[in-house]
Amino acid sequence: MIVDVSEIFYSIQGEGSKIGYKAIFIRLCGCNLKCPFCDTKYALSCKNPMNAHEIYEKISRFPAKNIIFTGGEPTLKDNFMAYFMKKYNNYSYFLETNGTLFPKKSINLFSHIVVSPKMFAINLDVLKSLIKYSISIEFKFVVDENFTKELELMEELGLKEATFQPVWLNDSMESYIKKTVRIIEKLKDIPYNIRIIPQIHKILYGQKKGV
């Protein structure tokens, strides 16, 4: 089975509850959304076909057992992910998704799923199904200083906790830090268990790929 792969790299997870853990990232090509703040536009329409064995040969060189399928939007390749995880089941698999498509073939093969809903493209049915059928799940929102809609969605989904990640647009390091502090201060009085995690990969590596 063949899939288009943007990049495969070994790094640490910089987001969500698994932050800091070593992991192998498989970034698949293609996405069903066009987010204005996307920092992986190079993965939206790339063409780099690889078969499952070629991918396994590459990931087997790295000293890690956690594999993260990311994108783009990896659930577009639901069949491939299910095939790969069943064939190479000596790894723990994780998914990063925008929550607009339900991966019915692979859903029960992921140890953990991070859902990052985009407020202009909410699919409540899919989000509720992900919550219902995932083995382990968390929600991560990329937010600006007005996060009313994100809080409303948390209420509608019955979420008591989430990660908020201040969005990095055309910020300098100084302006991004100040924005993050303002968001922290606004969240102090919010009755939810919300973790604030800055976009660590941008702070450490800037716009560099494969990190």
Is residue 46 one of the residues assigned to a domain? Answer: yes
Residue 118 marked as a ligand binder: yes
Identify each DSSP E strand in 111-178 by its residue range: 112-115, 137-143, 161-166
Is residue 18 one of the residues assigned to a domain? Answer: yes
Count of domains forming the chain: 1
Residue 117 marked as a ligand binder: yes
Is residue 56 one of the residues assigned to a domain? Answer: yes
Is residue 198 one of the residues assigned to a domain? Answer: yes
Is residue 211 one of the residues assigned to a domain? Answer: no
Residue 163 marked as a ligand binder: no
Q: Which CATH number goes with the domain that contains 194?
A: 3.20.20.70
pTM (two decimals): 0.92
pLDDT single digits (tens) 79-134: 999 999 999 999 999 999 999 999 999 999 999 999 999 999 999 999 999 999 99
- List C-alpha distances in Å: 204 to 67, 173, 191: 21, 11, 31
Cβ contact 76:101 at 8 Å: yes
Residue 29 marked as a ligand binder: no
Is residue 210 one of the residues assigned to a domain? Answer: no
DSSP 105: T
Is residue 124 one of the residues assigned to a domain? Answer: yes
pLDDT single digits (tens) 150-161: 999 999 999 999
